[in-house]
Each structure stands twice: as structure tokens, then as C-alpha cells.
Amino acid sequence: MLSRLSAGALKKAASAGTSRSSSLFNGARSASVRFASTKASAESFIASRTALVTASAVAVGSVAWYTHLYGSLPFLGEVHASHLSDEGLHPVAYPWSHKGLLDTFDHASIRRGYQVYREVCAACHSLDRIAWRNLVGVSHTADEVRAMAEEVEYTDGPNDQGEMFQRPGKLSDYMPGPYPNEEAARASNGGAMPPDLSLIIKARHGGADYLFSLLTGYIDPPAGVEIREGMNYNPYFPGGAISMPRVLFDGLVEYDDGTPATTSQMAKDVTTFLSWAAEPEHDERKKYGIKAVIIFSTLFALSVYIKRFKWGPIKNRRILYNPPDTTGKSH
């Protein structure tokens, strides 16, 4: 049969086979190139995502570290119209006993701090949000707190005759303020209003560090700084001029436990007391946090056990179906 084919037909068939093989080769080559480009693009995509995540983490971490060091976001503090000295000197971060993640208050320091507040601070500052009962089990016993409350006379009533009367304090009463109203407080302090100290730790930037630095930071004004008469210089107070004079001096109070009443010790104790006053539930909150961790970790361990040893065999079992043999049965 091959002998019957002409030379032109044989040449055309040979050229068709050559073109077909070359097309298959080119297709395989293009496929390999396509696969190679897809792999390269995937690697570049992963590398770009990794670089993006790394750059974002570095940027966020830098902003957080700057804010932790200087107390404000970068670049935003420079647009203030006021001078940086008007915001006060940034306080040092002190290692408070309750500052840790699972640390609690020093209750002996709270007791001493309440003594400093009662003998020194209570002459001008109120503590409106703290009741006598809040001290029970924290710094004093119930009998001690009841005796301290009974030393204060409270206006109550009306009685059966419709008149107000005076009675001794009870555990449910809130601690009395030094002044009957705001006008009396301003009149007694040269027009300045002594702030309530219940939430002073939460209300001031720097919290406990700021208050301790303020109480121990009274110095003479530096050269070139003029302070008005009746004002005092404290670099930690915004503006530097504060109407409250220095109130803590060595030996000002006599602690019941014999602790030396130095200026720094009294400032530390009253700061600890006011930190507790701003957050009386601090210790209980951390205790509940530990209990929650114990409960959730136990539940997680149980879920892992059930998943591995109970649900795992059921999920991974193999079901075999053997159809009945119907070859020997008649229809």
C-alpha cells in the first residue's frame, strides 16, 4: 500500500507529524513555564504578606513603646498651643506591690494610708464614694470601723416630730467631708476647690506614680520661674504652681505598727490607700480572673480528652457494607 502513495503525500504526512510533535513540545514547555510562574508568584505573595505583617508590627510596637515612655502619641503632642512644661513633669514608674498581673494590695499599707488620710488629708479633701463598711476586712476589723464611725455625728431624720436630729455614724454611712458645700471649701482655700480623692488615682494621668511624685516633689522654684504669693512650686503639677502646700514631713504621724513615718513612707502609704479607694474591687477582680482561668483551662482539657478519646473513634471509624447474597434465591 505504501508503494501506491505518491512522494508528495509522504512528504505531507511527514511534515504533519513534525508539526504535531513540535506543538506538543511547545505546549509542555509553556505548561512548565506557567507552573513555574505560578509558583514564583505564590512565593512572592507570601513574602510580601510577611513583610507587610512585620512592618505593621514594628510600627504599632514603636507607637506603643513611645506612648508608654512619654505618655502621649507621637507627633500629636507637638501641635498643642501650650508649652510642654504646662503639662507637668512626667512621673517615674514605681514598682507598686499591686501593679503586677496577679498581685494584690498591701493591706498593711492601706491601713497606714488611711491613717495619713484621716490625720492629714481629711482636713481639706473629701472621700465621698467610700463608706465605712468598705474598710471592713480590708484594713480594719468590723469593731474598729464601727468605733471610728460612731465618732462622727450625722444629720438624720426626720423623726416622729418631723425634725432632723444628730446620730452617731453607722457602717453604712459614707465618710464625711471637711466642708458642708463647695462655696465653703473655696472660701477656706483662697478660691481653690480641693478635689475629692475617691477617684483621684483614676482621674490623673500617671495614677499612683503621679500622686506619689506630687506629694514628694515640692522644691524651690528654679531661677527665672516666678510663683505668685500663696502658691507653691511643684514640677509634677501642670503649670508648676500649685495652691496646696507641702503637707508631709518626717514624723508627722505615728504609725500603730511602728513603721518609721518618713515623708516617702507616708506618701507611699496614702497613695496605696487612694489606689484602693479608686478600685475597691481590685483584689476580688484578680481572684475571679484566676478562677476563670482555672475553669476554662479545665473545660479545655476535657474538650481535648472528649475529642481525642470519645469523638475521635466515632469520627474516624470505617463502615463496611456487605450486600446479601441473592444468587441462590428465586424471583
Q: What pLDDT shows up at residue 4? A: 46
pLDDT one-digit tens code per residue, 131-160 = 999 999 999 999 999 999 999 999 999 988
pLDDT one-digit tens code per residue, 93-121 = 999 999 988 899 999 999 999 999 999 99
Q: Is 125 annotated as a binding residue?
A: yes
3-state DSSP of the chain: CHHHCCHHHHHHHHHHHHHHHHHHHHHHHHHHHHHHHHHHHHHHHHHHHHHHHHHHHHHHHHHHHHHHHHCCCCCCHHHCCCCHHHHCCCCCCCCCCCCCCCCCCCHHHHHHHHHHHHHCHHHCCCCCCCEHHHHECCCECHHHHHHHHHCCEEEECCCCCCCCEEEECCCCCECCCCCCCHHHHHHHCCCCCCCCCCCHHHHCCCHHHHHHHHHHCCCCCCCCCCCCCCCEECCCCCCCEECCCCCCCCCCCCCCCCCCCCHHHHHHHHHHHHHHHHCCCHHHHHHHHHHHHHHHHHHHHHHHHHHHHHHHHHHHCCCCCCCCCCCCCCC
Q: What pLDDT shows up at residue 198? A: 96
Q: Is 231 annotated as a binding residue?
A: no
Weakest mean pLDDT among 75-84, 219-228, 252-261, 300-309: 75-84
Q: What pLDDT shows up at residue 41? A: 58
Q: What pLDDT shows up at residue 114? A: 98
Q: Is 83 annotated as a binding residue?
A: no
pTM for the whole structure: 0.69
Residue 197 belongs to some domain of the structure = no
Q: What pLDDT shows up at residue 196? A: 96
Query: Which carries the bigger pLDDT value, residue 329 or residue 157?
Result: 157
Q: Is the CB of residue 111 less than 8 Å from the CB of residue 270?
A: no
Q: What pLDDT shows up at residue 320? A: 82
Provide the domain count of the chain: 1
pLDDT one-digit tens code per residue, 167-204 = 999 999 999 999 999 999 999 998 889 999 999 999 99
Q: Is the CB of residue 129 less than 8 Å from the CB of residue 174?
A: yes
Q: What pLDDT shows up at residue 266? A: 98
Weakest mean pLDDT among 72-86, 107-121, 284-298: 72-86
Residue 18 belongs to some domain of the structure = no
pLDDT one-digit tens code per residue, 213-246 = 999 999 999 988 888 888 999 999 998 999 999 9
Question: Look-up: residue for cell 502621649?
Answer: 72
pLDDT one-digit tens code per residue, 245-256 = 999 999 999 999
Residue 95 belongs to some domain of the structure = no
Q: What pLDDT shows up at residue 143? A: 97
Residue 253 belongs to some domain of the structure = no
Residue 58 belongs to some domain of the structure = no
Residue 193 belongs to some domain of the structure = no
Residue 306 belongs to some domain of the structure = yes
pLDDT at 74 over 90: no
Q: What pLDDT shows up at residue 28? A: 45
Range of the domain at 291: 282-312
Q: Is 124 annotated as a binding residue?
A: yes
Cell numbers at 129, concatenated: 464614694
The whole-angstrom separation of Cα 221 and Cα 241 is 9
What is the pLDDT averaged over residues 258-281? 97
pLDDT one-digit tens code per residue, 17-68 = 555 544 444 444 444 444 444 555 556 656 778 888 888 888 888 888 887 7
Residue 299 belongs to some domain of the structure = yes
Q: What pLDDT shows up at residue 12? A: 53
Q: Is the CB of residue 153 less than 8 Å from the CB of residue 169?
A: yes
